[in-house]
Amino acid sequence: MLSTKQFTTVSNGLLVRAPAKINLSLLIAGKRPDGFHEIETIMAKVDLFDQILIQPGQRPGIELLCTGPHWAPQGKDNLIYRACESLMNSCHSVADIKITLTKNIPAGSGLGSASSDAAAALIGLNKYLNLRLPKARLAELAAPLGSDVPFFLNGPLAICTGKGEKIKKLNQNFDFLAILLLPDVTVPTKKVYANYKDNAALYQNLKAQINANIEKCRIDLISRMCANMLELSCFGLYKQLRRLKAEVELLGIRPLCLTGSGSAMFSIINERNKEKTGYYQRQIQEKVGCKSVIVTNNRW
């Protein structure tokens, strides 16, 4: 499989790609004293990218422009801005930079795009300004930005625990081809967690199965479990997503798994059959009317 590079040097700057992720599993161990939930998730990067172009600025400080087919917050409300500001302040670096975000990954989809953008900004600006900060230092800057940001500094396949910030890289190979559904539904993560009802018995059962499959190096079996403990909460709030899953699975595209807190869903085609995957994608468009893209696992 050919892999798109993370960095591309342009005439006066650096283009950085920020990949989406999918949750191959997502377990909730319970609520923590700090109000967050303790999670155990296996995440994999896929080759659907936002793009961040870093160039010399024409005005003092950080200038952030957002473009592309999907919405992104502007200015200091964007994690990219906060990541760049944090990095430069920590190094006492003074530079005028212009950042252009091309938003290809929809927000509120469970694909981690804002977190990936923040991580890409840290990595890219470190390279662009030749700061030479080690990954450990970037990880320290990443943690306050969001629970998923540290994962995007690592990967491409990892077990994430705690709030999601504790990363254990999986060195197992898991090459896959998948159909990724992108419903026109924005799902706030906080809302799904607030609606979540704890299920300790389910957690223990799924954890045992997942650990057994990890020991056997069978990530493929984990992906087919569709073990996402936020699905019930998400579908309870957004019943159109429950109906969408049922309609797509009736086409023979199964199992169809929710990623993160939703709204995106994916189905891994174990045979890596591009012709079959293309046929499924056409069926989804013609019979269900939902946008989808074909993705593979990312290599970095």
Q: Name the residues annotated as catalytic.
A: 21, 148
Give the integer Cα–Cα distance in Å for 91 and 137.
11
Q: 70 with 120: CB under 8 angstroms?
A: no
H-only helix segments in the chain:
79-91, 113-128, 135-142, 149-152, 189-195, 200-215, 219-225, 231-237, 239-250, 274-283
Of 49, 52, 20, nearest in space to 121 by CA:
52
Neighbours of 9 (CB within 10 A): 10
CA dihedral 146, 53, 102, 268 (to 10 degrees): -70
Distances (CA, A) of 222 to 24, 120, 228: 7, 28, 11
In sequence order, the 6+-apart residues with CB closer than 8 A to the CB of 250 are: none
